[in-house]
């Protein structure tokens, strides 16, 4: 064999998987068609952020990645849900879900995606068991009972025991294996960017619901002496495109109004990026000698910090199975067990987040009123509130 594992995809999920399996003693090749963009000012930089919830941080520690990330992480102590669905963009219901109700630690820790790639690539370069080849794509997959053969864009072919597809929602490896997907389109797009503001965020992540989708402010470290947050602003596609095209002054006015001025006037601190919003799940999580993880397996709207945290749960299970019987890496029994353990959670979370997103999009006044009452009722019942927070962290 050339390698124990070939990972298709060098995004955050793929880089994390490479480090985790290398630390566990497996020989790993990780490839990606594009070199990672590791500077926020470079064209193509991913300006979104990722909130690593408690179980995800534990996995990053085991993979040896957390020490390099911790100095840049902003803790999330409170998840604030705001309903602003009245006639004017003003808060009607504000509810704080506090981490101290269920844990001595924050819910999670937030980091910019471009910075995650920078630090993870730096760490991978120190690992003898990882070969990282950015600028190289997977082009073909041939499997048999005992091995997989992966064709690469440089004309070579490598043999391995397991292929991990971490190559995105349009996964070439998933397509090569003939695994279909179920896709839900919401007609939404998300604007992602960073802002500064005069009122400190206090390590509170704030999700404001009105129409079109949530407007979420996630804490970042101060920038130039001013409090700073990352924003994901979801809207119906045509409105999102109109907002994206506005000049900075008009855009700042609109986003400040949409934020209900909770942190004061917002000032752009980065360029804007635009992303389509879908929900998607693969029909299967595995094929012969192939495991699907991250967006190759599931895509959800950016609500409740579930996306990448679901991905790290995929890898946690896969790594547990690999460590339990290294000699059976990539065989049918291991991959069947992976599918059985992950598929129920994936289906439940994709369905739940899809429902939450549709609820956040409603525009009819009566339904907006019902949404506000439901939030108030759920929060008031302390056992329900604690259960929802625990489920959000991945319990259950």
The predicted model gives 77-84 an average pLDDT of: 85
Token readout for 154 is: 């440089």
Portion of the chain with pLDDT greater than 90, in percent = 66
Distance of CA 94 to the CA centre of its chain: 25
Strand partners, 81: 95, 207
CB contact burial 123-150 (16+ within 10 A = b; e otherwise): bbeebebbbbeeebbbbebebeeebbbb
Strand partners, 75: 109
Note the pLDDT of residue 39. 80
Note the pLDDT of residue 4. 98
Note the pLDDT of residue 250. 98
Note the pLDDT of residue 358. 74
pLDDT score of 393 more than 50:
no
Give CA separation, 276 vs 187, 304, 355, in Å: 8, 17, 17
The predicted model gives 324-337 an average pLDDT of: 97
pLDDT score of 257 more than 80:
yes
The predicted model gives 60-69 an average pLDDT of: 94
Token readout for 323 is: 């460590």
Note the pLDDT of residue 385. 44
Q: In 10 A of CB 313, how many CB atoms?
A: 22
Question: How confident is the model over 291-317, as pLDDT tens digits?
Answer: 999 999 999 988 766 778 889 999 999
Q: Which domains does the chain have, with CATH numbers?
A: 5-60+111-183+278-358 (3.50.50.60), 72-110+186-276+361-393 (3.30.9.10)
Q: Residues 6 or more apart from 210 whose CB is under 8 A from it?
A: 84, 85, 89, 258
Work out the pLDDT band at 289, boundaries 50, 70, 90.
Answer: very high
Q: Which of 78-82, 118-122, 185-189, 379-383 has the lowest mean pLDDT?
A: 379-383
Note the pLDDT of residue 309. 84
Token readout for 81 is: 């849900």
Is pTM beyond 0.85? Reply is yes
Q: Which of 3-17, 54-68, 316-330 has the lowest mean pLDDT?
A: 54-68
- Position with higher pLDDT, 392 vs 148: 148
Q: Please state, rounded to an integer, the average pLDDT across all residues of the chain.
A: 88
Q: How far apart (Å, rounded) are the C-alpha atoms in residues 396 and 367? A: 30
Q: How far apart (Å, rounded) are the C-alpha atoms in residues 279 and 285? A: 16
Note the pLDDT of residue 379. 46
Token readout for 221 is: 């470290």
The predicted model gives 4-9 an average pLDDT of: 98
Give CA separation, 348 vs 20, 281, 338, in Å: 26, 11, 16
pLDDT score of 380 more than 90:
no
Question: How confident is the model over 34-62, as pLDDT tens digits?
Answer: 888 778 777 777 878 888 888 889 999 99
pLDDT score of 89 more than 90:
no
Work out the pLDDT band at 382, boundaries 50, 70, 90.
Answer: low
Note the pLDDT of residue 53. 84
Note the pLDDT of residue 101. 65
Q: Which of 7, 339, 328, 366 is nearest to 166 (CA)?
A: 7
- Position with higher pLDDT, 287 vs 35: 287
Under 8 Å between Cβ of 266 and 252: yes
Q: Which of 97-101, 113-117, 197-201, 391-395 has the lowest mean pLDDT?
A: 391-395
Strand partners, 273: 192
pLDDT score of 383 more than 70:
no
Question: How confident is the model over 197-239, as pLDDT tens digits?
Answer: 999 999 998 989 888 888 999 999 999 899 999 999 999 999 9
Q: Which of 159, 131, 121 is nearest to 4 (CA)?
A: 159
In this structure, the strands spanning 226-236 and 215-223 are antiparallel
In this structure, the strands spanning 78-83 and 204-209 are parallel
Note the pLDDT of residue 302. 83
Note the pLDDT of residue 284. 97
Under 8 Å between Cβ of 282 and 24: no
Q: Residues 6 or more apart from 123 whose CB is under 8 A from it?
A: 19, 64, 65, 68
Note the pLDDT of residue 207. 87
pLDDT score of 395 more than 50:
no
Break the chain down into helix, strand, coil percent, rounded to 5. Answer: 40, 30, 30
Note the pLDDT of residue 349. 84
């Amino acid at each position: 064999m050339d390698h124990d594992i070939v990972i298709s995809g060098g995004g955050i999920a793929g880089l994390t998987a490479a480090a985790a399996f290398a630390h566990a003693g497996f020989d790993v090749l990780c490839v990606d068609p594009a070199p990672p963009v590791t500077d926020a000012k470079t064209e193509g930089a991913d300006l979104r952020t990722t909130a690593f919830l408690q179980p995800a941080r534990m996995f990053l520690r085991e993979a040896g990645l957390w020490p390099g990330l911790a100095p840049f992480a902003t803790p999330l102590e409170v998840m604030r849900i705001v309903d602003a669905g009245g006639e004017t963009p003003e808060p009607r219901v504000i509810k704080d879900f506090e981490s101290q109700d269920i844990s001595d630690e924050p819910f999670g820790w937030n980091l910019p995606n471009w910075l995650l790639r920078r630090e993870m690539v730096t760490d991978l370069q120190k690992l003898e068991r990882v070969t990282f080849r950015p600028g190289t794509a997977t082009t073909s997959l041939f499997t048999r009972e005992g091995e997989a053969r992966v064709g690469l864009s440089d004309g070579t072919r490598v043999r391995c025991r397991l292929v991990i597809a971490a190559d995105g929602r349009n996964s070439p490896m998933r397509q090569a294996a003939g695994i279909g997907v179920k896709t839900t389109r919401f007609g939404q797009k998300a604007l992602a960017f960073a802002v500064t503001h005069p009122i400190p965020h206090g390590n509170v992540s704030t999700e404001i619901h009105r129409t079109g989708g949530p407007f979420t402010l996630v804490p970042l470290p101060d920038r130039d002496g001013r409090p700073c947050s990352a924003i994901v602003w979801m809207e119906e596609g045509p409105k999102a495109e109109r907002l994206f095209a506005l000049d900075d002054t008009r855009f700042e006015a609109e986003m400040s109004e949409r934020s209900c001025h909770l942190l004061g006037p917002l000032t752009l601190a980065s360029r804007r990026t635009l992303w389509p919003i879908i929900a998607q799940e693969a029909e299967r999580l595995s094929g012969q000698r192939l495991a699907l993880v991250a967006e190759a397996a599931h895509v959800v709207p950016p609500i409740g910090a579930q996306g990448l945290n679901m991905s790290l749960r995929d890898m946690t299970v896969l790594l547990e199975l690999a460590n339990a019987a290294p000699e059976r890496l990539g065989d049918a029994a291991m991959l069947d067990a992976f599918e059985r353990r992950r598929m129920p959670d994936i289906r439940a979370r994709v369905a739940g987040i899809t429902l939450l997103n549709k609820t956040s999009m409603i525009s009819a006044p009566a339904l907006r009123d019902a949404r506000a009452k439901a939030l108030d009722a759920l929060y008031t019942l302390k056992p329900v509130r604690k259960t929802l927070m625990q489920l959000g962290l991945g319990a259950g």
